[in-house]
Amino acid sequence: SKALKMGDKNYSEPSLSTHTLEKVKKAKVTIETFYSNLLNQQIEREGRMQILEKSMQQEGLSVDQCEKKRVQHAQKETEFLRLKRTRLGLGDFEMLKVIGRGAFGEVRLVQKKDTGHIYAMKMLRKKDMMDKEQVAHVRAERDILVEAENPWVVKMFYSFQDTYNLYLIMEFLPGGDMMTLLIFNSKTDTLTEEQTQFYMAESVLAINSIHELGFIHRDIKPDNLLIDARGHVKLSDFGLCTGLKKAHSTDYYRDLTQAQPIDFTNPLNQPQFLATRPLNANDSRRKAETWKSKRRKLAYSTVGTPDYIAPEVFQQSGYNLSCDWWSLGVIMYESLIGYPPFCSESPQETYRKVMNWRNTLVFPDEVPISDIARNLILSLCTDPDKRLGFPEVESLKEHAFFKGVDWIHIRDRPAAITMAIKSLTDTSNFDEFPDADLKLDQIDENKDWVFINYTYKRFEGLTQR
C-alpha cells in the first residue's frame, strides 16, 4: 500500500509512551551533556592559563621564571585531567565524626585517605530527594557551590553519587555557625551592637555574592551562616536556593520529557514606625531561655522553623531576592534582643505572627537598642518594595548602622569574636551526634538519571598537596 505522507489527510503522528519519551530524552541529554562538559573543560583550562599569564605579568617575572611556572602549571593540568577520570567514592574518605543531621541526610567530618585533607561531607539520600520533590533544590545547591568562586560561600571541592546517596565534599569550618555563637558564646544572651554590625556586614556581602550569580537563598538563618577558623562568616546550605535554570525548578521534574542538556550543565560567566507593646524583664528573659532550649531541636527536625522566612515566600504569590534581606533583619533582631521577633510555642503560631508582622514585630522596652539599629531592622522587615538592599545592595550598605565598616577589607581584619580552635579536626563548636549507619533505600533506576552531571571536581582541590 502507498505510504501515508505528512501532507495526507489521514496522516497521524505515531504515539509514543511517556516511558519511551523519557528514555529517548535521557539518551539525548546524556550524550549532549558529555560533549558540553568537554567544551566547558577546555574553556575553563584556557581561563586558568590566562589568569596565570596575567599574574606573572603583574609580578614582573623574568622569562626563565615565567617558563618554569608554565611548566609547573602544565603538570598540574595533566594531573587534574588524570584525577578527573578517577571515580571518587565513599571508600576514598575516612569517616571521623557526625557533625550535623537533617531531614534528608547528615554531615560528617571526613579525611581524604590519599592526601590527609580534612573536609565536611554532606550526604543526601536520593530516595528522600525524589519523594519530597527536592531534586531541583539539590541541583541548585550543587550548581551554586560550583559557580561561587568567592570567599563568602563555603567552598565545595568534590561532588559525587552512588546508587543511594548524593555527596558534597566541602571545606570544614571549625567555628560552627551563628546559631552556636548566639546561644553559647554570649554571656548576656545578646551580641553588642559593634559585634552585630560586624556579622551583619559580612552577611550582607555573603548574601549579595549569591544574588550576583542569579540565586535567591530563601533560607537565610543563623544555622546557615557558618564561622571559619578566624571568626569570619561564610554562607552555606543552599538546599532551598532557587536559581535561573529550569533544573532549579521543582515543576521541571514532573515532566522530564522536556529536559535539555543546558539544564544540567554550568553556564560560564554567568524611617518607619511600629507600635511597641511593653514587656517586663522577666517576660523577655523567659522568652530568650525558652527559645534557646528548643532552638537545637528545631534546627535538626524535618519541620524546621519558619521564624526567618519572609511572608511573601509563604504566600507563594511571587517573591524576589529581597526575601533574603527580610531574613537578615530577623537575625539582626535576634542578635540584639536574644530571640527572634516572631518566636512562639509552635511553628503554626510563628507562621501566624510572621504573616501579621505589622502588629507582631515589636521591641521589648527592657532590652534597649539604638534608634539606628531599630531603624535598620524595620527597613529590612517591611514590605518587599520598601526593603533596603533591593534592587541595589548599596542602599543597605549606606545605612547609618554600618557607618565605619570597611566593606573592601572587612574579611582581612580581625573578627568581632575570636575563635579558639585547637586543631584541624576540632569539633567543639558542633553538637554531639550518635554515630548511625546510613539508611540505604534505592530509587527507581529509570528515575536516577535526573542526577546526571552531579559529579564535580575542583581544580585546586585535586592539585593541592
Cis-peptide, bond into residue 391, ω within 30° of zero? yes
Domain 90-172+434-457 has CATH 3.30.200.20: yes
What would the pLDDT profile of 190-206 be if each residue is shown by its tens digit? 899 999 999 999 999 99
Please name the residue that has the C-alpha cell 588524570.
82
Q: Which helix (H) or strand (E) holds 275?
A: none
At a CB cut-off of 8 Å and minimum separation 6, what does 149 contact?
A: none
* Residue pLDDT, tens place only, 368-417: 999 999 999 999 999 999 999 998 999 999 999 999 999 999 999 999 99
- With 0-12 / 13-18 / 19 or more C-beta atoms within 10 angstroms meaning exposed / middle / buried, residue 300 is middle
Buried b vs exposed e over 96-130: b needs ≥16 C-beta within 10 Å? Answer: bebbbebebbbbbbbbbeeeebbbbbbbbbbbbbb
- DSSP H helical ranges for 153-268: 178-184, 193-211
At the topology level, CATH places domain 177-256+285-412 in Transferase(Phosphotransferase); domain 1 (1.10.510)
Q: What do you get for the CA distance between the two ends of the chain, in Å? A: 72
Lateral strand order in the sheet of 93-101: 93-101, 105-112, 118-125, 165-171, 156-161, 456-457
Range among 64-68, 185-189, 283-287 with highest mean pLDDT value: 64-68
Question: What value does the mean pLDDT of the chain take?
Answer: 79
State the residue for C-alpha cell 535567591. Answer: 216
Contact assessment for residue 51 and residue 57, using Cβ atoms and an 8 Å cutoff: no
CA-based Rg of the chain, rounded to a whole angstrom? Answer: 25
68 assigned ligand-binding residue? no
Check the CA dihedral 59-65-69-70 and report its sign.
Answer: positive
Q: How many CB atoms lie within 10 A of CB 418?
A: 10
Q: Which of 65 and 276 is assigned the larger pLDDT?
A: 65
Helix 322-337 and helix 193-211, axial crossing angle in degrees, nearest 10: 160
Measure the CA–CA gap between 136 and 317, rounded to whole angstroms: 19
291 with 332: CB under 8 angstroms?
no
Q: Rounded to an integer, what distance in angstroms lies between the CA atom of residue 312 and that of residue 318?
A: 7
Sign of dihedral through CA atoms 145, 146, 151, 152?
A: negative
Which pLDDT tens digit goes with each residue over 217-272?
888 999 899 999 999 999 988 766 565 433 344 443 344 344 454 443 444 333 22
* Helix (H) or strand (E) segment spanning residue 191: none
90-145, pLDDT tens digit by residue? 999 999 999 888 777 889 999 999 889 999 999 988 887 777 666 777 777 777 78
Q: Is 461 helix (H, G, I), strand (E, B) or coil?
A: helix
Residue in 438, 443, 421 with CA at minimum distance from that of residue 430: 421
Q: How many other C-beta atoms can be found within 10 angstroms of the C-beta atom of residue 246?
A: 17
8-25 pLDDT per residue, tens? 555 555 677 877 877 777
219 belongs to the catalytic site? yes
Domain ranges of the chain: 20-85, 90-172+434-457, 177-256+285-412
- At residue 30 the predicted structure's pLDDT band, cuts being 50, 70 and 90, is low
Q: What is the reported pTM?
A: 0.72
Question: Do the beta carbons of residue 364 and residue 427 sit within 8 Å?
Answer: no
Q: Percentage of the chain with pLDDT > 90? A: 37
pLDDT score for 276:
33
CA distance 376 to 387: 10
The Cα–Cα gap between 339 and 319 comes to: 26
The catalytic residue among 143, 219, 228, 263 is 219
For residues 334 and 243, the model is more confident at 334
Give the C-alpha separation, 39 to 445, whole Å: 28
Q: What's the pLDDT score for residue 460?
A: 65
User: In Å, how far from its chain's centre is CA 222?
Assistant: 12
